[in-house]
Amino acid sequence: MSTVGRFVIVVLFDGVDLLDVTGPPEVFALLRRELGEPSGYRVALAAETMDPVTTSAGVRILPDTTFQDVAGCGIDTLLVPGSVEVDDEGRVRALADPAVVDRVRSLAATARRVASVCVGAHILADAGLLNGRRATTHWSTARQLADEHPSIEVDADPIFIRDRDVWTGAGISACLDLSLALVAEDFGEAVALRVARQLVMYLKRPGGQSQFSVPLEPVSTTRRIEDLRHHITRNIAEPLTVADLAEQAHVGERQLTRIFKTELGMTPAAYIESARVEVARNRLESTDDTLERVATVCGFHTTDTLVRAFRRRLDTTPTEYRNRFRATGTG
């Protein structure tokens, strides 16, 4: 095996998500092309044995090496992908095989840094690598991660989070964003930008852009809340106070707040603001509306309120967001 480049180990196990495994190596391979020399990273897929590993997509992958063989070999980056199961009712749950957790814990002890892809954060958590840290994972399993590991500060919104030498990524496609961030840390943003161009991606989504849009959040189990969500969307330009929503749902304000926190993990006011930011994002991407117009039709009423909401939710401004994500040919 070549000794050129930073040594990256991708953990393999049966049921692993295929894109979690293949996405980062593609980014690292493009780095080698951009540098024009056999440097950058050398990637190896490691498993318990050299037998083929069957991914969640049914595609079989051959490991390059075993966990035993790479132990103590100077791992620069340990990449941990994830795996999920879906029950008969469509609920998603992250999996963490104890044997894999033990191997990750052992390998992480000698790696310069550790990064999880998507629900791989649950493996890091079970290995004790996220205790006292801030971390993210796919939005569908964020509540599971928080419930099972109260010592972790789980933030389901960012695409990726770095907490010292541990990185966690969100949805499956966010593995590309995470990989680009690793390239930027190791080789500089100018090089990472060249790789991003090859991928037809932005080097950084502004401010760790939210990994999901409000309309794509999990459907609640309460018909009343679903009706309220549709009511909010239909009347997004209106004041939409908590008192108005409570009256619409025929419950008290405190009860409404409890229901929202249980079903959607946020207060009614926070959900309303998230919904308005989502509508504003769409308008900034697809229209030439002035910021004043966007603020009005989305219920913010003033540009100052619009700007403050964008800074809270996306850590960027509406103008920067439009410059990054506005589609061409809009009008």
Structure tokens that stand for 307 in this block: 């700007």
Structure tokens that stand for 21 in this block: 């495994």
Cα radius of gyration (the chain): 22
Structure tokens that stand for 117 in this block: 């892809």
- Residue pair 300/240 in contact (Cβ under 8 Å)? The answer is no
Structure tokens that stand for 242 in this block: 């908590």
- CA end-to-end span of the chain: 54
The whole-angstrom separation of Cα 209 and Cα 212 is 9
- Residue pair 151/97 in contact (Cβ under 8 Å)? The answer is no
Angle at 307 between CA 305 and CA 310, to 5 degrees: 110
Closest CA to 46 of 85, 4, 77, 84: 77
- Residue pair 248/231 in contact (Cβ under 8 Å)? The answer is yes
Known active-site residue 118: yes
The whole-angstrom separation of Cα 251 and Cα 258 is 11
**Angle, helix 18-35 to helix 174-187, in steps of 10 degrees:** 30
| Catalytically annotated residues | 118
